[in-house]
């Protein structure tokens, strides 16, 4: 059946190849923030006839078409998520790399005001929290959000 992302692609008149359909499905099913390698791994599991170059080309295309958003949480690899399932921010678990999303409407205006004061129109902004899970307390409203793990490699240094 047609995935959500595939539908968006069709709406925007993109040619739907087998590879794109698979990548669209993977993206639609993801509830985390996979990087290209991870997307590639999941896509290949569904259909081996996909190269990583195609994944790179596809995420770039979808980003240009406003279907995907690229994130940079440090560590050198770009990560992707579907556009706009609500404006939200990210809290990155520094121990596991897991990403928790949260909302905070109040920030927007405050930041725009700050920019204004400095003589700028706010075009966009980046707000990320890095935190460590509190041992005792069970988090509320943040059900374990998928397998976002970013297996720290040698080169990795905190952003």
Q: Which of 37, 104, 108, 109 binds its own copies (CB under 8 A)?
A: 104
Q: How many C-beta atoms lie closer than 10 Å to residue 99's C-beta?
A: 21
56 makes contact with DNA (CB under 7 A): yes
Locus of tokens 């991870």: 38
Residue 144 interacts, among DNA, its own copies, none and using kind-specific CB cut-offs from 5 to 8 Å, with none
119 makes contact with its own copies (CB under 8 A): yes
Q: Of 40 and 73, which has the nearer Cβ to its own copies?
A: 73
Q: How far is the CB of 39 from its own copies (least distance, A)?
A: 18
Instruction: Outline where 12-105 has alpha helix (H).
Output: 18-29, 36-46, 52-64
Take residue 108 and report the two structure tokens written for it: 């927007």
Locus of tokens 């190269």: 51
144 makes contact with its own copies (CB under 8 A): no
Residue 14 interacts, among its own copies, DNA, none and using kind-specific CB cut-offs from 5 to 8 Å, with DNA
Q: Which of 3, 32, 41, 57 binds DNA (CB under 7 A)?
A: 57
Q: Please state whether 74 falls in left (phi above 0), alpha (psi between -120 and 50) or beta.
A: left
Take residue 62 and report the two structure tokens written for it: 């979808």
Q: Which of 4, 41, 65, 77 binds DNA (CB under 7 A)?
A: 77
Kindly list the distances between the CA atom of residue 42 and the CA atoms of 77, 81, 99, 151, in Å, as whole numbers in the listed order. 17, 15, 19, 16
Binding residues for its own copies (CB under 8 A): 70, 72, 74, 91, 93-94, 100, 102, 104, 111, 114-134, 137-142, 157-159
């Amino acid at each position: 059946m047609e995935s959500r992302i595939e539908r968006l692609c069709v709406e925007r008149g993109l040619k739907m190849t087998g590879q794109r359909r698979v990548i669209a499905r993977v993206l639609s099913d993801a509830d985390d923030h996979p990087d290209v390698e991870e997307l590639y791994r999941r896509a290949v599991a569904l259909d081996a006839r996909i190269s990583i170059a195609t994944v790179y080309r596809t995420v770039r295309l979808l980003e240009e078409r406003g279907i995907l958003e690229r994130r940079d949480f440090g560590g050198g690899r770009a990560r992707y998520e579907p556009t706009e399932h609500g404006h939200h921010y990210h809290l990155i678990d520094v121990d596991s790399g897991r990403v928790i999303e949260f909302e905070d409407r109040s920030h927007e205006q405050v930041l725009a005001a700050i920019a204004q004061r400095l003589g700028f129109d706010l075009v966009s902004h980046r707000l990320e929290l890095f935190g460590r899970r509190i041992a005792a307390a069970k988090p509320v409203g943040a059900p374990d959000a998928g397998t976002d793990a970013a297996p720290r490699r040698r080169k990795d240094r905190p952003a």
